[in-house]
Structure 1
Amino acid sequence: MQKFMDFMEKYFIPVAAKIGAQKHLIAVRDGFVSIMPIVMAGSFATLINALPVPGYKEFMEKTFGIEWKFVQNAIWDASFGVMSLLVVFTTAYSLAKSYEKDGIACATVCYASLAMFYGVVPVGGDSFKGATGLFVALGIALIFGTIFCKLLGNPKLLIKMPDGVPPAVSKSFAALFPSMIVLVLAGITKAILVWVFGINSIHQLVLDSIQGPLMGVFTAGLAPILFLIFLQQLLWFFGLHGSNVLAPVINAILLPLTTLNIEAFNLGNKPENIINSQFLDSFVNMGGSGATICLLIAIFIVSKNKANKIIANLSVAPGLFNINEPVIFGMPIVLNPIYIIPFIIVPLVCAIIAYLATLWGIMPVIGILAPWTTPPVIGAWMSTGSFRGALVALINIAVGTALYLPFVMAADKKAILEESQGLAQ
């Protein structure tokens, strides 16, 4: 174990720490976090449209008329329907802030740059303003946003305004030349794509060649998501925020899979993607990464260590809303060789159980996006629209608790031994 710890601390942790602190990845993470309230509103609108209750649709039509979905559909169009437009703005804004530049100016010019790459769309066609256009939106925010931030503040491009001019006007003129340069570069890029390479839709190209295949990796089977979960837990064990480090991957690849399921659910069709971002929240990260709600239950059942019980009592309230930093850093789980095995194994087992339960038709495929702070079991019920989803989550908690129990008892014995040795000295 010590050799493994030394190897990880020497080679793995420094690289992971640099990745976690990389400005562009942080911008992507914060960009998605910023739009979560709007995305949640769209998800609840979908739930209202397709609540899986017998006779619900007929009741709503009789009560409110055949257009009873109008408001919910409008909310959908303003959230999931324009997700890429929202993300390019928030990601560019976050990136500019990391460079200590004008966030609004950067977000605005990146939004305008993205607008150039949308073609004429026939009625009923896909304009790639939703989740299918995320890769292009993120690419434009990161590439053109970085160029803008590098240009902004350059003395040769700065228009100095006389004293007494309002600050907002001064900032606007300071961004004039950088904005013009970025927009010209975006226009030239599109011209090259169309005139030289004959690419009329960069969105379709990226979807077919990059985003689609990456999404397909996670729909092909269990192995990719199990590797992702393993990596997330390993990062947490070494004190790095695994969820934040991997957030760009989860949001750019797994969130669109959730969105496709929600679209199908909203249309009354059967969702198809078993693995998606909500799958992790509903059935894997119960109580937080490591399914630590199971650890808390195990402590309440068998632990006789007062310190553990105090930490568990303090952690249970945030744990019910999937916030588990008090457990991870309080027990601690970080760099604790006793808990590394269940901390990694339990989420993997939970993922396998939930995947098989969905594959075998025991519960429906996830079709709703629930807030990540929704308590375990309730989140599973909401996201699947079925009490069978809640039952599978309960089974995961029971199995996870059983797996944590022997390690809690081992930690108790170690604590008692260390205490007795301390008294003897």
Structure 2
Amino acid sequence: MYGKVLRIIYRIEINSIISSVRKGFTLLIPALLVGAFALLFRSFPVPAFQTFIEKWAGGVLHQILSFLFDATVGFMSIYLVMSISYYYAATMKDRDQFLQVMAMVVSAICFAVSFGAASGSMELSDLGPVGVFTAMFAAIAATRIFYFFCEKLSPAFRFRSAGSDVDYRNSLSAIYPLLFCTLLFVALNLLIKTVFKADNLNDLITNFIVNLFHNVNDGLGAGVLYVLVLDLLWAFGIHGGNALEQVSQTYLVPNDTVSGAVISKSFLDNFALMGGCGTSICLVIALLLFAGSRDNRQLARSAAPAVFFNINEILVYGLPIVLNPIMVIPFILTPLCSLLIAYGAAVSGFLPLLGETVTWTTPVFFSGYLSSGSWRGAAVQAVIVFVGTAIYTPFVKVSEQVRKLQAEMLQQELTEYLKEHQEAGAAVSLLERRDSMGILARNMASQLRIDVEEKNLTMGYQPQYDCRNRMAGAEALLRWRYMDEAVYPPLAVALAQEDGFFDRLTECVIETSMKACSRLLNLGEPVTISANITAEQLNSPRFVEKVIRMAETYGVAGHYCLEITEESAVDKMEEIPYHISRLKAAGILAAVDDFSMGRTSLKYLQHNSFYAIKLDGGLVRGIVENKRNQEIVSSIISLGRNLDFVVMAEYVETEEIRSLLESMGCCLYQGYLYSPAVPLVRLEELLLEKKG
């Protein structure tokens, strides 16, 4: 049942609309970080500091902080409408880059139209957090409508030009879709003004919310409704503080200076909304203490300084809370519980109230002490923080499980996508995709690059045995993990090749496996460790020189082998014979991987420098049932005896296959009959077991 719930939540989260909104918010995190910290310093609750920034050098520091905030958070909605549109357009059937950019422009136009544009009700403040909901709506609706008109309008019903510039002609072709989409938003704005008597969509929602409070008396009911609506609005991307400003001024602010009044604006800020809406300080603590995800912990560390001063946009938009089906529950529940705890402490007489306003940026515990004039205020806040953290913690864990499930399923889809293209022999581009799989591919490539640079690769070693059941060596195989999940090795290789660090990946594999070879040799057993390289790498002087230097460093001469794969033809790689000779002189063996009767394989054998060949897995797996396979394998083994190289068989999975190979003269085996790829520690144990 629990697994089904997780999958349902996963399906909700990968919905193209919700996913695009979340990615759009994520894209703005750098701007939000800059803006949040600019606001923090500009509103730092120390009078001496405020005096300093306002007067130092004529107030230039205060101006700089204001510019930073206004240029980032102050234009947040216009940035958001374009970022969401960018990601949503990438999910459309037609992924033309021109249409994707035009959709962003159209969405920005429709966002302005939603406020009546400059001649209507639009104000500069609407471009900031105030207009977030309208930005989300405009980005999704305008992008979808624009693509609809692009698909439905016939080619004949488009502007045409004799100009030769392709971009110019494309721009003209978008005139009608842009016009029709914009006119629909104009009609919506006029409808809201005519029927609902509101200036715009934002005001329509705000007016509806204000009406909810008309029949609510002052006191706990007003406080509960205010906190509930405030956090619910934030969960949908609407700036709750701005939307409820009229409610706050009417019902809450007047009580700030009334002695004995419990529910006031200052009371809610200090005890129900610590760290900002959603009692975000509890979420930060839950993430820092209980999050398993490195990204979540890093986000919490980045947001913590601002949240400590009740500025939580980084968390709300960065995690994000907006349209998050899991985190929205504790985001609304925690402030309500906090309010009830504080209200109970106040009416019971434990929490004294001075009726004094405390600056909204005053940190937790300090605000509790200042508003009550007693340690009891800080104590009540401590209890609230403890309870709130307890509420958030299970949801943090569930959220991460959903993220893990999402990553697993996306990784499976990415793997299947790669396999399909490889089987069809088609070229594949993973990093250029603009959907969820493309984002995952780029994240995986980025993490793989980090692990390569830090030499932090997970390796497996598949043992190789001779006909006397003695371990002769092992093949080093990449067993990289992403988010604690094993990655299909060809996928990791494809990502490294496409991102341009495949040589670095191979060098890291070779160095790691040479270290392992050195450890095994220290046990007193003459085993040989091998690793895969491509023909292009074997044709590179720089690569070969580096391998030789590493072999000298780790002392593995005579016990290390490079297996050359058949990915590319070697006709134009004249340096390969010379480099194989150089490697052989340095004590590094060379083998041909997946040897068959192909032209490339036979081309290798013109030079008597190879130590071994490994039979193609397809030949070995079908050797029992297919007589032709038996004849081919027997011919290769005979060829090996005549040309003086060793023949090894991989994919030896049954005793019947091993016996048949042995009868043909093949005496080196690798496969599941003996062992899958194992960690180095387990390989050492297997080696010592055979030795004993």
TM-score, structure 1 length as denominator?
0.55
Please state whether the residue corresponding to 1:38 is helix, strand or coil: helix
Match of 1:76 among 63, 69, 72: 69
Match of 1:115 among 90, 112, 115: 112
Partner of 2:584: none
Please state whether the residue corresponding to 1:115 is helix, strand or coil: helix
Partner of 1:334: none
Match of 2:46 among 20, 44, 53: 53
Deviation at 1:25, TM superposition (A): 1.2
Q: For residues 218-367 of structure 1, what are the structure 2 equivalents within 5 Å? A: 220=224, 250=235, 252-253=237-238, 256-257=240-241, 273=269, 274-275=272-273, 279=278, 281-286=280-285, 288=287, 291-292=289-290, 320-321=297-298, 367=361
User: Would you say 1:188 and 2:187 are equivalent positions?
Assistant: yes
Deviation at 1:393, TM superposition (A): 10
Deviation at 1:223, TM superposition (A): 9.3
Partner of 1:95: 88
Deviation at 1:111, TM superposition (A): 1.0
Aligned partner letter, 1:57 = Q
Partner of 1:35: 28
Larger radius of gyration: 2
Deviation at 1:133, TM superposition (A): 2.5
Q: Which has the higher contact order (CA 8 A, sep 6+)?
A: 1
Q: In the aligned structure 2, how far is the partner of 1:191 from the partner of 1:115?
A: 13
Deviation at 1:115, TM superposition (A): 1.3
Deviation at 1:212, TM superposition (A): 9.3
- Seen in structure 2, the aligned counterparts of structure 1 residues 171 and 285 have a Cα distance that, compared at 3 Å, is farther
Partner of 1:145: 143
| Greater mean alpha carbon deviation, residues 24-33 or residues 170-179 | 170-179
Q: In the aligned structure 1, how far is the partner of 2:367 from the partner of 2:57?
A: 26
Aligned length: 313
Aligned partner letter, 1:88 = V
Deviation at 1:137, TM superposition (A): 2.4
- Seen in structure 2, the aligned counterparts of structure 1 residues 219 and 150 have a Cα distance that, compared at 3 Å, is farther
Partner of 1:235: none
Aligned partner letter, 1:128 = D
Contact 1:136 1:206 in 2 (8 A): no
Aligned partner letter, 1:137 = A
- Indicate the structure with greater helix content: 1
- Seen in structure 2, the aligned counterparts of structure 1 residues 200 and 354 have a Cα distance that, compared at 3 Å, is closer
Q: In the aligned structure 2, how far is the partner of 1:34 from the partner of 1:171?
A: 28
Deviation at 1:78, TM superposition (A): 2.2
Please state whether the residue corresponding to 1:128 is helix, strand or coil: helix
Contact 1:380 1:393 in 2 (8 A): no
Aligned partner letter, 2:181 = V
- Seen in structure 2, the aligned counterparts of structure 1 residues 160 and 29 have a Cα distance that, compared at 3 Å, is same
TM-score, structure 2 length as denominator?
0.36
Aligned partner letter, 1:84 = S
Partner of 1:303: none
Aligned partner letter, 1:220 = V
Q: In the aligned structure 2, how far is the partner of 1:395 from the partner of 1:256?
A: 22
- Seen in structure 2, the aligned counterparts of structure 1 residues 398 and 68 have a Cα distance that, compared at 3 Å, is closer
Deviation per residue, 1:206-232 (Å, 9 max, x gap): 222269979x9997279969x99xxxx
Contact 1:283 1:354 in 2 (8 A): no
Q: In the aligned structure 2, how far is the partner of 1:62 from the partner of 1:154?
A: 61
Contact 1:114 1:140 in 2 (8 A): yes
Please state whether the residue corresponding to 1:64 is helix, strand or coil: helix
- Percent of pairs identical after alignment? 17
- Seen in structure 2, the aligned counterparts of structure 1 residues 67 and 104 have a Cα distance that, compared at 3 Å, is same
Q: In the aligned structure 2, how far is the partner of 1:17 from the partner of 1:169?
A: 42
Contact 2:35 2:68 in 1 (8 A): yes
- Seen in structure 2, the aligned counterparts of structure 1 residues 198 and 26 have a Cα distance that, compared at 3 Å, is same
Contact 1:38 1:79 in 2 (8 A): yes
Q: In the aligned structure 2, how far is the partner of 1:354 from the partner of 1:198?
A: 35
- Seen in structure 2, the aligned counterparts of structure 1 residues 366 and 56 have a Cα distance that, compared at 3 Å, is closer
User: Would you say 1:65 and 2:58 are equivalent positions?
Assistant: yes
- Seen in structure 2, the aligned counterparts of structure 1 residues 283 and 357 have a Cα distance that, compared at 3 Å, is farther
Aligned residues: CA RMSD: 5.4
Deviation at 1:283, TM superposition (A): 1.7
Contact 1:92 1:141 in 2 (8 A): yes
Deviation per residue, 1:185-219 (Å, 9 max, x gap): 222333344456554433311222269979x9997
Q: In the aligned structure 1, how far is the partner of 2:76 from the partner of 2:35?
A: 10
- Seen in structure 2, the aligned counterparts of structure 1 residues 81 and 270 have a Cα distance that, compared at 3 Å, is farther
